[in-house]
Amino acid sequence: MSLLTVGTVAFDTIETPFGKAEMCIGGACTYISWAASYFTDKINLVSIVGDDFPQEEIELLHKRGVNTDGLEIVEGKKSFFWAGKYHDNMNQRDTITTDLNVLADFDPQLPQSYKSSDFLMLGNLTPEIQLQVLEQMETKPKLVVMDTMNFWMDIALDALHKVIAKVDVITINDEEARQLSGEHALVTAAKKIHEMGPKIVIIKKGEHGALLFNEGQIFSAPALPLAQVFDPTGAGDTFAGGFIGYLAGNSDLSFENLKRAVIYGSTMASFCVEEFSIEKLKNLTQEMIKERAEKFVEISGVSLQH
Protein backbone atom coordinates (compact mmCIF):
# COMPACT_ATOMS: atom_id res chain seq x y z
CA MET A 1 0.00 0.00 0.00
CA SER A 2 1.23 3.53 -0.68
CA LEU A 3 2.45 5.64 2.21
CA LEU A 4 2.70 9.41 2.29
CA THR A 5 5.35 10.76 4.68
CA VAL A 6 5.56 14.40 5.69
CA GLY A 7 8.14 16.13 7.87
CA THR A 8 11.52 17.79 7.82
CA VAL A 9 14.50 16.76 5.71
CA ALA A 10 17.41 18.56 7.25
CA PHE A 11 20.92 18.84 8.63
CA ASP A 12 21.79 18.17 12.27
CA THR A 13 24.88 18.84 14.34
CA ILE A 14 24.79 16.51 17.30
CA GLU A 15 26.99 16.25 20.34
CA THR A 16 26.69 13.28 22.69
CA PRO A 17 29.03 12.06 25.45
CA PHE A 18 30.45 9.72 22.79
CA GLY A 19 31.31 12.20 20.07
CA LYS A 20 30.15 14.89 17.71
CA ALA A 21 28.67 14.74 14.22
CA GLU A 22 28.65 17.98 12.23
CA MET A 23 26.06 18.71 9.56
CA CYS A 24 24.88 15.14 9.28
CA ILE A 25 21.64 14.14 7.58
CA GLY A 26 18.59 14.53 9.80
CA GLY A 27 14.92 15.48 9.79
CA ALA A 28 11.80 13.61 10.89
CA CYS A 29 10.76 12.70 7.35
CA THR A 30 14.20 11.31 6.58
CA TYR A 31 14.13 8.95 9.55
CA ILE A 32 10.49 8.02 8.92
CA SER A 33 11.05 7.24 5.25
CA TRP A 34 14.21 5.21 5.80
CA ALA A 35 12.59 3.16 8.56
CA ALA A 36 9.38 2.58 6.58
CA SER A 37 11.31 1.60 3.45
CA TYR A 38 12.22 -1.77 5.01
CA PHE A 39 8.54 -2.73 5.20
CA THR A 40 6.76 -1.16 2.26
CA ASP A 41 7.44 0.37 -1.13
CA LYS A 42 5.48 3.19 -2.78
CA ILE A 43 6.55 5.79 -0.23
CA ASN A 44 5.63 9.34 -1.24
CA LEU A 45 7.77 11.93 0.52
CA VAL A 46 6.72 15.56 1.03
CA SER A 47 9.27 18.00 2.37
CA ILE A 48 11.48 20.94 1.55
CA VAL A 49 15.25 21.46 1.39
CA GLY A 50 17.69 24.10 0.20
CA ASP A 51 20.17 23.65 -2.63
CA ASP A 52 22.77 22.61 -0.07
CA PHE A 53 21.14 19.22 0.46
CA PRO A 54 23.24 16.44 -1.12
CA GLN A 55 21.77 14.98 -4.30
CA GLU A 56 23.26 11.58 -3.42
CA GLU A 57 21.10 11.40 -0.29
CA ILE A 58 18.04 11.91 -2.48
CA GLU A 59 19.32 9.19 -4.80
CA LEU A 60 19.67 6.81 -1.86
CA LEU A 61 16.02 7.42 -0.97
CA HIS A 62 15.03 6.65 -4.58
CA LYS A 63 16.89 3.38 -4.34
CA ARG A 64 14.82 2.55 -1.26
CA GLY A 65 11.63 3.02 -3.25
CA VAL A 66 10.90 6.54 -2.04
CA ASN A 67 9.22 8.89 -4.51
CA THR A 68 10.65 12.39 -3.98
CA ASP A 69 8.47 14.27 -6.47
CA GLY A 70 7.10 16.06 -3.42
CA LEU A 71 10.51 17.17 -2.18
CA GLU A 72 10.76 20.88 -2.96
CA ILE A 73 14.31 22.11 -3.54
CA VAL A 74 14.69 25.85 -3.08
CA GLU A 75 17.57 27.35 -5.03
CA GLY A 76 19.79 29.82 -3.17
CA LYS A 77 18.48 28.84 0.23
CA LYS A 78 19.63 26.58 3.00
CA SER A 79 18.03 23.45 4.45
CA PHE A 80 16.57 23.39 7.94
CA PHE A 81 19.34 23.03 10.52
CA TRP A 82 19.23 21.89 14.13
CA ALA A 83 22.11 21.57 16.57
CA GLY A 84 21.77 19.89 19.93
CA LYS A 85 23.84 18.55 22.76
CA TYR A 86 22.86 15.59 24.94
CA HIS A 87 23.49 15.44 28.67
CA ASP A 88 25.45 12.57 30.17
CA ASN A 89 22.31 10.56 30.91
CA MET A 90 21.17 10.89 27.26
CA ASN A 91 17.60 11.51 28.40
CA GLN A 92 17.90 15.27 28.20
CA ARG A 93 19.26 17.53 25.54
CA ASP A 94 19.80 21.23 24.96
CA THR A 95 19.00 22.83 21.64
CA ILE A 96 22.00 24.89 20.59
CA THR A 97 20.71 26.20 17.26
CA THR A 98 17.50 26.05 15.24
CA ASP A 99 17.77 27.66 11.79
CA LEU A 100 14.44 27.31 10.04
CA ASN A 101 15.86 28.45 6.67
CA VAL A 102 13.61 26.99 3.89
CA LEU A 103 11.19 25.66 6.48
CA ALA A 104 10.02 29.20 7.25
CA ASP A 105 8.21 29.32 3.90
CA PHE A 106 7.17 25.69 3.59
CA ASP A 107 3.82 25.53 1.84
CA PRO A 108 3.47 21.89 0.88
CA GLN A 109 1.66 21.14 -2.38
CA LEU A 110 0.96 17.46 -2.84
CA PRO A 111 1.68 16.04 -6.31
CA GLN A 112 -1.60 14.69 -7.71
CA SER A 113 -0.44 11.08 -7.42
CA TYR A 114 0.13 11.54 -3.68
CA LYS A 115 -3.43 12.57 -2.92
CA SER A 116 -4.78 9.04 -2.82
CA SER A 117 -2.02 7.53 -0.68
CA ASP A 118 -3.38 4.67 1.45
CA PHE A 119 -1.46 5.53 4.60
CA LEU A 120 -0.42 8.96 5.86
CA MET A 121 2.36 9.71 8.32
CA LEU A 122 2.36 13.28 9.61
CA GLY A 123 5.85 13.62 11.03
CA ASN A 124 6.71 16.21 13.65
CA LEU A 125 6.17 19.67 12.14
CA THR A 126 4.01 22.72 12.81
CA PRO A 127 0.42 21.55 13.25
CA GLU A 128 -0.64 24.04 10.56
CA ILE A 129 1.43 22.24 7.94
CA GLN A 130 0.27 18.84 9.15
CA LEU A 131 -3.30 20.05 8.69
CA GLN A 132 -2.56 21.53 5.29
CA VAL A 133 -1.30 18.16 4.05
CA LEU A 134 -4.21 16.29 5.56
CA GLU A 135 -6.68 18.59 3.82
CA GLN A 136 -5.14 18.03 0.40
CA MET A 137 -5.90 14.30 0.50
CA GLU A 138 -8.61 13.42 -2.03
CA THR A 139 -9.37 9.97 -0.64
CA LYS A 140 -9.53 9.21 3.05
CA PRO A 141 -6.41 7.21 3.99
CA LYS A 142 -6.85 3.84 5.69
CA LEU A 143 -4.81 5.20 8.57
CA VAL A 144 -3.45 8.61 9.52
CA VAL A 145 -0.67 8.68 12.11
CA MET A 146 0.71 11.87 13.61
CA ASP A 147 3.80 12.54 15.65
CA THR A 148 4.27 15.78 17.55
CA MET A 149 6.23 17.30 20.41
CA ASN A 150 5.85 19.50 23.50
CA PHE A 151 7.10 22.56 21.58
CA TRP A 152 3.81 22.71 19.62
CA MET A 153 1.82 22.27 22.82
CA ASP A 154 3.58 25.34 24.18
CA ILE A 155 3.13 27.64 21.18
CA ALA A 156 0.37 26.23 18.92
CA LEU A 157 -2.00 24.23 21.10
CA ASP A 158 -5.19 25.23 19.27
CA ALA A 159 -3.86 24.25 15.87
CA LEU A 160 -2.45 21.06 17.37
CA HIS A 161 -5.88 20.11 18.70
CA LYS A 162 -7.32 20.57 15.21
CA VAL A 163 -4.90 18.01 13.80
CA ILE A 164 -5.29 15.61 16.72
CA ALA A 165 -9.05 15.61 16.13
CA LYS A 166 -8.53 14.31 12.60
CA VAL A 167 -6.03 11.50 12.99
CA ASP A 168 -6.38 7.81 13.82
CA VAL A 169 -3.12 7.42 15.72
CA ILE A 170 -0.96 9.75 17.75
CA THR A 171 2.57 8.87 18.85
CA ILE A 172 3.79 10.93 21.75
CA ASN A 173 6.26 10.52 24.60
CA ASP A 174 5.25 10.10 28.22
CA GLU A 175 6.01 13.66 29.34
CA GLU A 176 4.18 15.05 26.31
CA ALA A 177 1.18 12.81 27.00
CA ARG A 178 1.06 14.22 30.53
CA GLN A 179 1.36 17.79 29.27
CA LEU A 180 -1.30 17.35 26.58
CA SER A 181 -3.80 15.63 28.87
CA GLY A 182 -3.04 17.27 32.20
CA GLU A 183 -3.03 13.77 33.72
CA HIS A 184 -0.12 12.07 35.41
CA ALA A 185 -1.21 8.43 35.15
CA LEU A 186 -0.54 7.33 31.58
CA VAL A 187 -3.66 5.19 31.32
CA THR A 188 -5.77 8.23 32.23
CA ALA A 189 -3.70 10.45 29.93
CA ALA A 190 -4.37 8.02 27.06
CA LYS A 191 -8.10 8.09 27.83
CA LYS A 192 -8.17 11.89 27.64
CA ILE A 193 -6.21 11.86 24.39
CA HIS A 194 -8.64 9.29 22.93
CA GLU A 195 -11.37 11.81 23.66
CA MET A 196 -9.50 14.40 21.58
CA GLY A 197 -9.85 12.18 18.49
CA PRO A 198 -7.31 9.40 17.96
CA LYS A 199 -8.68 5.91 18.57
CA ILE A 200 -5.11 4.66 18.89
CA VAL A 201 -2.66 6.30 21.30
CA ILE A 202 0.97 5.25 21.46
CA ILE A 203 3.03 6.54 24.37
CA LYS A 204 6.77 6.24 23.79
CA LYS A 205 8.78 5.81 26.97
CA GLY A 206 12.32 5.66 25.54
CA GLU A 207 14.41 3.19 27.52
CA HIS A 208 11.21 1.88 29.13
CA GLY A 209 9.48 0.81 25.93
CA ALA A 210 6.09 1.92 24.65
CA LEU A 211 2.41 1.62 25.50
CA LEU A 212 -0.28 1.06 22.87
CA PHE A 213 -3.87 1.94 23.75
CA ASN A 214 -6.72 0.96 21.43
CA GLU A 215 -10.39 0.62 22.32
CA GLY A 216 -9.83 -0.42 25.92
CA GLN A 217 -7.00 -2.79 25.04
CA ILE A 218 -3.44 -2.17 26.16
CA PHE A 219 -0.13 -3.50 24.91
CA SER A 220 3.05 -2.85 26.85
CA ALA A 221 6.07 -3.23 24.58
CA PRO A 222 9.48 -3.60 26.20
CA ALA A 223 12.57 -1.68 25.22
CA LEU A 224 15.65 -3.67 24.42
CA PRO A 225 18.09 -3.10 27.28
CA LEU A 226 20.99 -1.63 25.33
CA ALA A 227 24.50 -1.38 26.69
CA GLN A 228 24.91 1.93 24.92
CA VAL A 229 22.68 4.53 23.37
CA PHE A 230 25.08 6.31 21.07
CA ASP A 231 22.75 9.01 19.72
CA PRO A 232 18.99 9.15 20.45
CA THR A 233 18.27 11.71 17.70
CA GLY A 234 15.52 10.50 15.40
CA ALA A 235 14.52 7.52 17.53
CA GLY A 236 10.91 8.70 17.83
CA ASP A 237 10.65 9.41 14.09
CA THR A 238 12.20 6.05 13.30
CA PHE A 239 9.73 4.34 15.62
CA ALA A 240 6.86 6.05 13.78
CA GLY A 241 8.34 5.10 10.40
CA GLY A 242 8.74 1.46 11.35
CA PHE A 243 5.25 1.40 12.84
CA ILE A 244 3.38 2.83 9.86
CA GLY A 245 5.68 1.16 7.35
CA TYR A 246 4.86 -2.24 8.80
CA LEU A 247 1.12 -1.50 8.68
CA ALA A 248 1.30 -0.16 5.13
CA GLY A 249 3.18 -3.32 4.18
CA ASN A 250 0.40 -5.70 5.19
CA SER A 251 -2.62 -3.38 5.57
CA ASP A 252 -3.92 -5.24 8.63
CA LEU A 253 -5.26 -2.90 11.32
CA SER A 254 -6.22 -5.57 13.88
CA PHE A 255 -4.98 -5.04 17.44
CA GLU A 256 -2.63 -8.04 17.11
CA ASN A 257 -1.06 -6.46 14.05
CA LEU A 258 -0.84 -3.03 15.69
CA LYS A 259 1.15 -4.77 18.45
CA ARG A 260 3.53 -6.22 15.86
CA ALA A 261 3.87 -2.76 14.30
CA VAL A 262 4.88 -1.37 17.71
CA ILE A 263 7.53 -4.10 18.01
CA TYR A 264 8.87 -3.31 14.52
CA GLY A 265 8.84 0.42 15.29
CA SER A 266 10.77 -0.25 18.49
CA THR A 267 13.14 -2.52 16.58
CA MET A 268 13.96 0.19 14.05
CA ALA A 269 14.41 2.78 16.83
CA SER A 270 16.80 0.44 18.63
CA PHE A 271 18.97 0.36 15.51
CA CYS A 272 18.69 4.11 14.98
CA VAL A 273 20.29 4.98 18.32
CA GLU A 274 23.37 2.85 17.68
CA GLU A 275 25.01 5.35 15.32
CA PHE A 276 24.82 9.03 14.42
CA SER A 277 22.22 10.20 11.92
CA ILE A 278 20.66 7.59 9.60
CA GLU A 279 23.91 5.65 9.26
CA LYS A 280 22.63 2.48 10.90
CA LEU A 281 19.30 2.67 9.06
CA LYS A 282 21.15 2.69 5.74
CA ASN A 283 22.76 -0.67 6.31
CA LEU A 284 20.10 -3.01 7.65
CA THR A 285 18.95 -6.32 6.22
CA GLN A 286 15.61 -8.08 6.65
CA GLU A 287 17.49 -10.75 8.59
CA MET A 288 18.86 -8.21 11.09
CA ILE A 289 15.42 -6.69 11.59
CA LYS A 290 13.76 -10.08 12.06
CA GLU A 291 16.39 -11.20 14.55
CA ARG A 292 16.15 -7.98 16.58
CA ALA A 293 12.33 -8.01 16.60
CA GLU A 294 12.43 -11.58 17.90
CA LYS A 295 14.62 -10.40 20.78
CA PHE A 296 11.89 -7.97 21.83
CA VAL A 297 9.41 -10.82 21.92
CA GLU A 298 11.85 -13.13 23.68
CA ILE A 299 12.74 -10.79 26.55
CA SER A 300 9.11 -10.08 27.39
CA GLY A 301 7.70 -13.57 26.88
CA VAL A 302 6.42 -15.41 29.95
CA SER A 303 3.95 -18.18 30.67
CA LEU A 304 2.29 -18.63 34.04
CA GLN A 305 1.83 -22.35 33.41
CA HIS A 306 4.09 -24.22 35.81
- Paired residues of 221 in beta bridges: 210
Nearer to a second copy, 65 or 222 (CB): 222
Which chain residues interact with a second copy by CB under 8 A?
Answer: 88-90, 184-188, 190, 205, 207-209, 211, 218-223, 225-229, 250, 252, 256-257, 259-260, 263, 293-294, 297, 299-304, 306
Contacts of 113 (CB under 8 A, 6+ apart): 44, 67, 69
Question: Least Å distance between CB 124 and a second copy?
Answer: 24
Question: Least Å distance between CB 13 and a second copy?
Answer: 23
Question: Within 13 Å of residue 94, how many CA atoms lie on the same side as its CB?
Answer: 5
Sheet strands (E) in 118-199:
119-122, 143-147, 169-173
Nearer to a second copy, 251 or 283 (CB): 251
Contacts of 25 (CB under 8 A, 6+ apart): 10, 11, 12, 54, 57, 277, 278
User: How far apart are the two ends of the chain, measured CA to CA in Å?
Assistant: 43
Question: Least Å distance between CB 298 and a second copy?
Answer: 9
Nearer to a second copy, 7 or 206 (CB): 206
Nearer to a second copy, 158 or 302 (CB): 302
Nearer to a second copy, 104 or 218 (CB): 218
Question: Within 13 Å of residue 158, how many CA atoms lie on the same side as its CB?
Answer: 0
Question: Least Å distance between CB 207 and a second copy?
Answer: 8
DSSP code at position 87? -
Question: Least Å distance between CB 264 and a second copy?
Answer: 9
